């Protein structure tokens, strides 16, 4: 299994919930994800530094360095 960790070094698994620790601009969109936004039911990717999640009815890929386990 992959060794995916959040910004604090806590292991992340499929289906976990994470929160953003920083405001992030979404590429290709004018929207910004605010600090503290909860992303539920994440999916792991083949890259250990990225996860997939659904925010505001959009599927996005997030870097784990901007996340902490909820």
Looking at residue 3, its pLDDT comes to 87
Domains of the chain: 18-69 (2.30.30.40)
Looking at residue 29, its pLDDT comes to 87
What are the residue ranges of helices labelled H in 13-58?
A: none
Tell me if 8 sits within 8 A of 15, measured CB to CB: no
* Distance (Å, whole) CA 15 – CA 53: 10
- Tokens 């601009």, residue located: 25
Confidence of residue 52 (pLDDT cuts 50, 70, 90): very high
Contacts for 23-32: CB closer than 8 Å, 24+ residues apart: 24/62, 24/66, 26/58, 26/60, 31/56
Q: What is the pTM of this model?
A: 0.90
């Amino acid at each position: 299994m992959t060794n995916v960790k959040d910004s604090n070094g806590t292991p992340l698994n499929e289906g976990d919930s994470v929160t953003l620790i920083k405001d992030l601009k979404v590429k290709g969109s004018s929207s910004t994800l605010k600090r503290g936004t909860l992303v539920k039911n994440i999916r792991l990717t083949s890259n250990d530094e990225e996860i997939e999640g659904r925010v505001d009815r959009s599927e996005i890929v997030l870097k784990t360095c901007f996340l902490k386990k909820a």
